[in-house]
């Protein structure tokens, strides 16, 4: 796994085994400043690159597909962006083993694969287990933003998030201010598909587990 993870920042690419864990994000974006925002599964990366170009913060994206990662890397390098870090890797592994904790002001998850077949539901991102990993990225007061066109998946995600004691959750009615954020959102809005959007704020200072995720964990000492 570790050998397949790539990290691109400030015109250079690194293999994960050449870097320290958790990643020293400050060193990767030397000279840049401002709050961090993270996008998980950035696809073609249009939104993330646009945000980084506009400035006013630092941005990090995680994407499993090598083709999409390379597209973002090319855009970031050709624009000489020093406030954008792109990671090619599996999001749960990256959240668990690679990224520091509580560094992000916002985490964005837009149109994650819905895995519609029941036997694949456990692969869905933002179930009670992956949610706890995502929340570890957020500083207290940080926000998690989510959108999907798969309404059953969206309602299930909403139910899971609303059961989390660290979150203050709301449905976002209508489009985001500023219009569609990602390629999928632009396409689905054009097609007139209903989209479920959520915003959750981490309201607790101390880390808290999701009650459903916690059930399977047993800790003991002698
Ligand atoms: C349906 S696309 C949405 C892309 C983009 N967020 C958008 O809205 O245009 C889902 C993206 O998540 C990525 N993805 C799926 N599983 C992933 C995982 N476990 N870790 C990281 N990225 C993943 C896919 O490669 C794909 O680019």
* Bond from prior residue into 118 cis (ω within 30 degrees of 0): no
Query: DSSP secondary-structure letter at 190?
Result: H
Q: Catalytic annotation on 113? A: yes
The yes-or-no verdict on residue 220 having pLDDT over 90 is no
The yes-or-no verdict on residue 222 having pLDDT over 90 is no
CA distance 61 to 63: 7
Q: Which CATH architecture has domain 2-211?
A: 3-Layer(aba) Sandwich (3.40)
Residue 221, pLDDT score: 66
What pLDDT band is residue 215 in, cutting at 50, 70 and 90?
low
Q: Is the CB of 90 under 6 A from ligand 1?
A: yes
What pLDDT band is residue 118 in, cutting at 50, 70 and 90?
confident
Model pTM score: 0.95
Mean of the per-residue pLDDT values of the chain: 93
The best mutation among 6, 41, 175 to test binding of ligand 1, ranked by most ligand atoms within 8 Å of the C-beta, falls on: 41
Residue among 17, 24, 113, 173 flagged as catalytic: 113
CB 152 within 8 A of CB 118: no
CA 89 to ligand 1 centroid distance, Å: 11
Q: Can you tell me the mean pLDDT for 155-170?
A: 93
Which residues lie below 8 Å from residue 132, measured CB to CB, with a gap of 6+?
A: 209, 210, 213
Ligand 1 atom index nearest CA of 184: 9
What pLDDT band is residue 145 in, cutting at 50, 70 and 90?
very high
Buried b (16+ CB within 10 A) or exposed e, 123-143: ebbbbbbbbbbbbbbbbeebb
């Amino acid at each position: 796994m570790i050998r397949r993870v790539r990290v691109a920042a400030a015109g250079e690419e690194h293999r994960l085994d050449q870097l320290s864990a958790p990643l020293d994000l400050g060193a990767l974006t030397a000279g840049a400043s401002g709050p961090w925002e993270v996008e998980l599964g950035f696809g073609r990366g249009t939104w993330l690159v646009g945000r980084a170009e506009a400035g006013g913060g630092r941005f990090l994206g995680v994407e499993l597909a090598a083709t999409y990662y390379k597209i973002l890397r090319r855009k970031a390098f050709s624009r000489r962006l020093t406030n954008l870090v792109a990671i090619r890797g599996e999001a749960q592994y990256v959240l668990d083993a690679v990224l520091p904790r509580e560094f992000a002001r916002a985490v964005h998850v837009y149109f994650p694969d819905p895995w519609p077949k029941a036997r694949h539901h456990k692969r869905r991102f933002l179930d009670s287990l992956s949610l706890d990993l995502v929340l570890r990225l957020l500083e207290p007061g940080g926000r998690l933003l989510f959108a999907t066109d798969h309404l059953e998946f969206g309602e299930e995600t909403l139910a899971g998030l609303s059961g989390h004691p660290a979150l203050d959750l709301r449905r976002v009615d209508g489009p985001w201010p500023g219009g569609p954020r990602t390629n999928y959102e632009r396409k689905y809005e054009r097609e007139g598909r209903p989209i479920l959007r959520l915003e959750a704020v981490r309201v607790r200072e101390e880390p808290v587990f999701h009650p459903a995720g916690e059930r399977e964990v047993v800790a003991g000492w002698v």
